[in-house]
Amino acid sequence: MSRNTMGASAISQSGRGSSPAAGSLHGSRMPFTSSARGTALGVAVLIALAVVAIVLHFTVDGPFGALNDWLNAAVGVASAVLATVVAVGSPDTVDRLAAPLGVGGGAVMAYGSSLVITDEAGWFQAGVVSGVGAGLVGVWLLALNRAGPGGDPPSACVARLGRLAGGIMALGLLGLPGWVSGVDDWGAAPWYVQAGMVGWLGTYALYPAWCWRVSRLR
């Protein structure tokens, strides 16, 4: 074998050895296990059903508003499970430290939905509380998808989508004062609490898109 051939073979072997791990965002920093990918798919499906339910609620009414409330609660629980499963499969310390934000945020999302399910609050207060929970999940997404070295192009794209989703979802944290004050009317809410509701765009559109992309990583 010639020196040139040996050199090319060594470079090829080196390239294969340094390729990103399957299901990772940035190299081998944070692999998504099959359990994490399956859970992410479940979150995406639940959110899609919640969107369908809310659209049907505003178009044909019926029981779809209540169904949306239950689905939102399920999204919160599933998000908490997702944060836990990802943390268990990640070798990265920051990923594990950020997991309680996702778990706590998911729990708050479910609690917010329970307020309207049990008639303890109206839709606006429930939306504000759930939005705060989604905001915490958004901060978890920002930490999880933070920029890092390496990573194949599809995974880097997933990371950028995760940061965009997390940033918009984090706007829900603006509703925290509204949760504390118990405001339950759009007109009576301060502008920043109203602005916090924009976070739902991230929850209903970009978050499920990120979950879907994660579920397709191999």
Q: What are phi and psi of 31, to 5 degrees?
A: -75, 140
* pLDDT digits 0-9 by tens, 19-45: 444 455 554 455 689 999 999 999 999
What predicted TM-score, i.e. pTM, was given to this entire model?
0.85
pLDDT exceeds cutoff 80 at 150: no
Q: Report the pLDDT value the prediction gives residue 16, as an integer from 0 to 100.
A: 44
Nearest 10 degrees: Cα torsion 119, 123, 129, 133: 110
Domain ranges in the chain are 32-216
Q: Rounded to whole angstroms, what are the CA distances from 127 to 21, 43, 47, 122, 207?
A: 39, 19, 15, 9, 17
* pLDDT digits 0-9 by tens, 52-83: 999 999 999 889 999 999 999 999 999 999 99
